């Protein structure tokens, strides 16, 4: 599977009083990476939801190595690592000038409009490892 890449500029509102990006900003950035990876595959969250496909975060694991700071320009790499019948796993690498700041992974459950598990659409599973 290819790697999606986006650039993120750390905003003032995402930082603590010392100018360090707060840990709550990272899951938002990961969602941005997933959203753009979906666009690169030819769809969007909006289109999936219109078809009754909802992706809910089931698990999140983050490893903070170095802090991101206000006004840093960061590169986020996002990749699908595994798919199942009703789940999709992503890995993330957040870098500043090539230096690895953070690694993370998420597992998302694929749900219908009533919150019940449903099969992942082919557009998500295409090219991903199945488990």
Tokens at residue 107, please?
């597992």
Q: Is a pLDDT exceeding 80 seen at residue 129?
A: no
- Give the residues across from 80 on adjacent strands: 90
What is the structure's pLDDT at 121? Answer: 95
Residue 73 to residues 10, 105, 108: CA-CA distances in angstroms? 7, 21, 27
Q: What is the pTM of this model?
A: 0.93
One of 3.40.50.9100, 2.40.10.480, 3.10.129.10, 1.10.10.10 is the CATH number of 4-125, namely 3.10.129.10
Kindly name the residue from 16, 61, 112, 129 that is annotated as catalytic.
Answer: 16
Burial of 84-97, coded b for 16+ CB within 10 Å and e otherwise, reads bebbbbbbbbbbbe
Q: Is a pLDDT exceeding 90 seen at residue 128?
A: no
Residue-wise pLDDT for 57-95, tens only, equals 999 999 999 999 999 999 999 999 999 999 999 999 999
- Quick check: is 16 catalytic? yes
Domain boundaries, the chain: 4-125
Q: Percent of the chain at pLDDT above 70? A: 95
């Amino acid at each position: 599977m290819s790697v999606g890449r986006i650039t993120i500029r750390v905003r003032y509102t995402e930082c603590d009083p010392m100018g360090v990006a707060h840990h709550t900003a990272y899951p938002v950035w990961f969602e941005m990476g997933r959203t753009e990876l979906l666009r690169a595959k030819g769809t969007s969250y909006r289109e999936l939801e219109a078809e009754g496909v909802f992706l809910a975060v089931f698990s999140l694991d983050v490893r903070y190595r170095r802090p991101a700071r206000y006004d840093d320009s960061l590169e986020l790499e996002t990749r699908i690592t595994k798919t199942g019948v009703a789940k999709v796993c992503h890995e993330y690498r957040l870098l500043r000038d090539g230096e690895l700041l953070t690694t993370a992974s998420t597992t998302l459950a694929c749900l219908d409009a009533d919150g019940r598990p449903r099969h992942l659409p082919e557009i998500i599973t295409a090219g991903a490892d199945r488990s």
